[in-house]
Amino acid sequence: MSKSTASLPGGTWVLGDLTVTRFGYGAMQLAGPGVMGPPADHDGALAVLREAADLGITHIDTSDAYGPRVTNQLIRQALRPYPESLHIVTKVGATRDQQGGWPPARDPESLRRSVNENLENLGLEVLDTVNLRLGDAQGPQPGSLAEPLETLVALQQQGLIRHLGVSNVTAEQVAEARAIAPIVCVQNMYNLAYRHDDKLIDELAEQGIAYVPFFPLGGFSPLQSSALSAVASRLDATPMSVALAWLLQRSPNILLIPGTSSVAHLRENVAGAGLSLSHEDVAELDKIGH
Ligand SMILES: NC(=O)c1ccc[n+]([C@@H]2O[C@H](COP(=O)([O-])OP(=O)(O)OC[C@H]3O[C@@H](n4cnc5c(N)ncnc54)[C@H](OP(=O)(O)O)[C@@H]3O)[C@@H](O)[C@H]2O)c1
């Protein structure tokens, strides 16, 4: 039986018209090494997803590029029929090549195909939220997003997408997107040690738009810092718990999607993110990213 979402740290946020727990789950780590192919432990991956739902998490972040297809098919197998309260956020705009790279796929035909493949692999008739992912592995790159976003707006008007977001974008691209269509979330790289978007987060908070940091724990190279370890040991907590608690306290519009392939880590992260950080703790942690 699912625990109440009220027991999750951070409470809830309304994404467009969808209520989600601020503590979500990022599914990318469920695919095989290099986010390619199936997981070594298929049943273990299903168990992580089911545990996320049992803990009351109602926001799962994914992409059909993870695997490719693998992560979406695992979500479908583990959780369908989906609880009404569960909202899956996916992203389009990149595909995978033979070497495991992430080449862009933003022409109208690729975007239409990707939306349809997400629907099929997730087993849905409508995608709750679709992020248009721009930039590259180095981060956001300047340039107009009008053409790909307008393609997604057309798919939204056809009833295939409920809400739109953008990912791996500059502040200018967020502004351009908002002039084209309502945007419910921005998903960019951000964590205790990487704070390029501080100003953008505050602006989005004023506009009621969610900011969803990817790599909240540092991604493929988990966060390591002597200041983080010092605060964690003073609070008798893990560095990961402190990093997540810091994000939840940073701004009310921040939604967490930490990734893990481990039920134990998932439980630890949920239990730890509710840690209350004092002004002194936050001041010490703020020095890491400045
Ligand atoms: N829009 C984009 O371009 C983009 C890019 C990257 C990611 N994303 C999204 O962001 C989500 C989060 O990113 P991420 O998963 O790459 O990075 P992350 O959440 O920053 O970190 C995940 C890593 O931390 C480890 N970890 C998690 N909890 C831990 C704990 N309690 N103790 C020790 N290690 C722990 C995981 O290993 P274990 O598996 O061993 O727990 C994994 O290696 C992804 O799932 C994906 O949905 C989006």
Give the residue whose CA is nearest to atom 6 of ligand 1.
214
Taking the model in full, what pTM does it have?
0.97
pLDDT digits (tens, 9 = 90+) for 186-238: 999 999 999 999 999 999 999 999 999 999 999 999 999 999 999 999 999 99
**Ligand 1 pocket, residue 269 CB under 6 Å:** yes
Sequence-distant (6+) residues with CB within 8 A of 214 are 26, 167, 187, 188, 189, 190, 257
> Pick from 234, 251, 247, 241: which is nearest to 275 by CA?
241
d(CA 5, CA 18): 14
Q: Does the annotation count 190 as an active-site position?
A: no
Give the residue whose CA is nearest to atom 17 of ligand 1.
219
d(CA 98, CA 114): 18
Q: How far is the CA of 151 from the centre of ligand 1 (A)?
A: 30
The phi and psi torsions of 135 (rounded to 5 degrees) equal 65, -160
The best mutation among 192, 215, 269 to test binding of ligand 1, ranked by most ligand atoms within 8 Å of the C-beta, falls on 215
d(CA 253, CA 163): 17
pLDDT for 5 equals 57
**Ligand 1 pocket, residue 265 CB under 6 Å:** yes
pLDDT digits (tens, 9 = 90+) for 79-103: 999 999 999 999 999 999 999 999 9
**Ligand 1 pocket, residue 27 CB under 6 Å:** yes
Asked if residue 30 lies in contact with residue 242, where contact means CB atoms within 8 angstroms, the answer is: no
Query: Could you give the dihedral angle defined by the CA atoms of residues 149, 186, 217 and 121, in that order, rounded to the nearest 10 degrees?
Result: -40
The size of the chain, in residues, is 290
